[in-house]
A = this chain, B = another copy of it.
Amino acid sequence: MTQILPSRYLFGPGPTNPYPEATAALGYPLLGHLDPDFLQRLDNTCEGLRQAWGTANARTLPLSGTGSLGMEAAFVNTVTHGDVAVIAVNGLFGERMCDVAARCGATVIRVDHDFGQPIDPERVAAAHPNPKVIAAVHAETSTGVLSDIKTLGTLKGDALLIVDAVTSIGGSELRADDWGIDVGYAGTQKCLGVAPGLAPFTISDHAFDRRIEKPQSWYLDLGLLGGYLGDTGGGRTYHHTAPVAMVASLEAALDRILAEGLENAWQRHRSAGLQLQSGLQSMGLELFAAEGYRLPQLTTVNVPEGVDSAKVRQYLLRNFDLEIGGGVGKYAATVWRIGLMGPNASNSSVTLILGALEAAIKNAS
C-alpha cells in the first residue's frame, strides 16, 4: 500500500518546517542516553545552545518536553509559597506564566499591557519593591511583539530575571548574559528549525544557587538534572531517559545555524519579515503589532473587514497546502499570525505567502 503523506508549508506561529539537517538527524541510528557518543552529542548540543542564548552558563541544556515545559521548569525551580513573582503580561504567554507561577505557590503581581504593545520595563520593575523573580516574554508568539529585555535587565535589582525566548531564539538578537537574563527557556519548533519536543533552557550559577532545593516537580528538578549533565564533577548519573532522537535533531540544526552564523540567521529572519510586512501593507492590510516592536519572524495582521478568517485559512490549507495561524483569545477571528522561521525565512516564502494570501482573500470570502 502506498501511503500518501500530507505536506505543508508551515507559515503559522510554529512549528515551522525544520531545517533538512534536523529532519535527517531524526533518522540517525539511535544511541542510548548513557552512550559515550550520545553524551558527546549532548555536550555539543549544550554548547550550541550556549551560543544561541548568548551565555556562558554551564547549566544550559535541552529539557525533555516542549517550550511550555521550559516555562514550568523556570518557575518550579525559582519560586515557592510566599515568593513574589512580578510578571509582565502583553499576550497569552505572559498570562500562562501567571498561571504557572501561581501553581508553584508564588504571589503573582501581574503587570498588564495592551496586547500588541511591548512591555514597559520601568512599570514592570516598579511593580514591587523586592520580588524574588521578574518574568517577561521576549517575543510574544500570540501578538507578534518584541519587548526590550535588555532594559528590564538593568532595572531588575535583586530579582531573578526569567525570560521566555521561545520565538526569539535563533531568529532575533538574544544575549542572555549581556542582558542579565538569569533563567531562560525556549522551544525548538520556531527559529531553531527543529520539530517540537525539546525546551532549550539556561540558568545562571547565581540563580541556581538561589533555586528551590526540592521543587514540586521531580522531572524538572535542576539539582537532579545536573547529575546527568555531569556538573557535579563525577560521571554522569541517570535521571530520566533523554529524548535522544530529538537531541540529535537539535544538534544538527544548531550546527547548521552556527555554520551560517548566528547573526546572519537573525539578519535573514529580519530581512524576510520586513519584506513580508511591507508586502502585506502594499496589499492594503494593516499590521496588528505596534510599529517599532514588530517581530520579523512572526507577523500579526488584522483580518480585513468582511473577510472570514477561518475560510481564508482553510482555503490556504486546501489550495496551497499552506498553514498560517489565527489570532489568540479575543483576537482569534480578527488577527492572522504568519511565521517565517528557520528555513522558511526566505524570499521564496515571502513571495509564496503574499501570492497565496491575496488569492485566498479574493476567493474565500
**B residues in contact with A240, CB < 8 Å:** 66-69
A37 within 8 A of partner (CB): yes
A311 within 8 A of partner (CB): no
Q: How far is the CA of A103 from the CA of B36 in the complex (A)?
A: 32
CB pair B195 A243 closer than 8 Å: yes
Q: How far is the CA of A64 from the CA of B68 in the complex (A)?
A: 10
CB pair B26 A26 closer than 8 Å: yes
**B residues in contact with A67, CB < 8 Å:** 240-241
A68-B240, A217-B72, A218-B99 given as contacts; is B30 within 8 A of A17 (CB)?
yes
**B residues in contact with A197, CB < 8 Å:** 64, 197, 243, 245-246
CB distance from A21 to the nearest CB of B (A): 10
The digit string for A5-36, where 1 denotes a CB below 8 A from any CB of B, is 11110101011011000011011111111011
Given contacts A32-B323, A72-B217, A216-B217, 17 further A-B pairs with CB under 8 A are A6-B31, A7-B29, A8-B29, A8-B32, A8-B35, A15-B30, A15-B33, A27-B27, A35-B317, A64-B65, A64-B197, A69-B69, A96-B218, A103-B214, A195-B246, A217-B217, A246-B246
**B residues in contact with A33, CB < 8 Å:** 15, 196
**B residues in contact with A243, CB < 8 Å:** 66, 195-197, 246
A335 within 8 A of partner (CB): no
Secondary structure call for the A interface: loop
- Assembly stoichiometry (copies): 2
**B residues in contact with A37, CB < 8 Å:** 6
CB pair B32 A5 closer than 8 Å: no
CB distance from A360 to the nearest CB of B (A): 17
Q: How far is the CA of A4 from the CA of B10 in the complex (A)?
A: 31
CB distance from A248 to the nearest CB of B (A): 9
CB distance from A258 to the nearest CB of B (A): 15
**B residues in contact with A103, CB < 8 Å:** 214-218
What are 18 of the A-B contact pairs (CB < 8 Å)?
A: A6-B31, A6-B37, A10-B30, A23-B27, A23-B30, A24-B27, A30-B195, A64-B65, A64-B69, A64-B197, A67-B240, A67-B241, A103-B214, A196-B243, A196-B244, A216-B216, A217-B217, A243-B246
A219 within 8 A of partner (CB): yes
**B residues in contact with A317, CB < 8 Å:** 35-36
CB pair A72 B219 closer than 8 Å: yes
Interface residues of A in 239-281 (CB under 8 A from B): 240-246
CB distance from A324 to the nearest CB of B (A): 10
Chain A residues packing against B (C-beta within 8 Å): 5-8, 10, 12, 14-15, 17-18, 23-24, 26-33, 35-37, 64-69, 72, 96, 99-100, 103-104, 187, 189, 195-197, 214-219, 240-246, 317, 323
Q: How far is the CA of A15 from the CA of B248 in the complex (A)?
A: 14
Closest 5 CB pairs of A and B: A197-B243, A195-B245, A26-B26, A68-B240, A7-B29
CB pair A26 B65 closer than 8 Å: no
**B residues in contact with A104, CB < 8 Å:** 216
CB distance from A30 to the nearest CB of B (A): 6
CB pair A244 B31 closer than 8 Å: no
Q: How far is the CA of A18 from the CA of B32 in the complex (A)?
A: 12
**Which residue in B28, B32, B69, B217 is a CB contact (below 8 Å) of A15?**
B32
**B residues in contact with A29, CB < 8 Å:** 5-8, 17
